[in-house]
Amino acid sequence: MEIIRTVAELKAKLNAARENGSIGLVPTMGALHAGHLSLIERARRENDTVVVSVFVNPTQFNNPNDLATYPRTEEADTAMLCEAGVDYAFIPSVEEIYPEPDTRQFALGSVAEVMEGAMRPGHFNGVAQIVSKLFDFTRPTRAYFGEKDFQQIAVIRKMVELEGFDLEIVDCPIKREADGLAMSSRNVRLTPEQRAIAPAIHKALEGSLSWAADHSVEETKRYVIDEINSFPQMEVEYYEIVDALTMQPVSDWAETDSAVGCVTVFCGDVRLIDNIKYPKRK
């Protein structure tokens, strides 16, 4: 595995690699875990060359403290990437990615205006900035993203449409701990007490599947919120049931064949996200 620090070297290496076949890109912000490795494993199976970016992107953080406390574990990350058979690890500095401020504003539309878009102003524009740069630098055949960030995938698909990138977006299932907690780099910030109760998020989502069978959308939302909020140190920021394609909230199960419940929970001061897909109504 080669570690690359500059855009110029990355482009040169991948221009040569592209002549020998497909390129798979896995964008990450580091602090890697088994969820990231599952994306890398799939990229390895489906492509001739695999590149993983490790970059904590400042433009997508609307909370300076969240940026400051985001875990950074480059030495451990590079060891994991090498073991996973990655060809190139792109680990640039902020100055390399943003030699000048990125003032681009993306017309991402309604998929970026709800849920995370409403709670974190500017977040998705920052995501579009960095992902568009990575796509431009690497020109991958395929790019891999985890479904834990369900809304983000919809936003990236919209950005690809706007910018005209010729690539396939591959969405991959959520990877979970044995107790159901969605794997996240932020999990390392949980105290032992918080880590013990955090799996209640997924448990509430799973419980809502049977509850939803004979309850309304609004009643199902209330069930999930009440279940999670019953635990000390846990507070739901939002729980929304949306159409999987448009990300728009639904008020009746009949409005969509692909309902997804998306939740954000503060466990102490750690912000955790998760989601669940509801079965199509007969």
Q: Give the residue from 56, 63, 69 showing the smallest Cα distance to 28.
A: 56
What share of the chain in percent tops pLDDT 90?
Answer: 96
- Using CB atoms within 10 Å of the CB of residue 263, give its burial: 0 to 12 exposed, 13 to 18 middle, 19+ buried: buried
Tell me the per-residue pLDDT of 232-281, one tens digit each, with 9 for 90 and over. 999 999 999 999 999 999 999 999 999 999 999 999 999 999 999 999 87
Token pair for 45:
């199976």
**pTM attached to this predicted model:** 0.96
Residue 146 annotated as binding site? yes
Residue 35 annotated as binding site? yes
Per-residue pLDDT, 62: 87
Alpha helices in 84-149 (DSSP H): 94-97, 116-119, 123-138
Q: What is the band of 227 on the pLDDT scale with cuts at 50, 70, 90? A: very high
Phi, psi of 176 (to 5 degrees): -120, 155
Token pair for 71:
């875990």
Tell me the per-residue pLDDT of 159-172, one tens digit each, with 9 for 90 and over. 999 999 999 999 99
Q: Which residues form the catalytic set?
A: 36
Number of H helices, E strands in the chain: 11, 9
Residue with the two structure tokens 């955790």:
272
Domains detected in the chain: 1-170 (3.40.50.620), 185-274 (3.30.1300.10)
Residue 205 annotated as binding site? no
Residue 185 annotated as binding site? yes
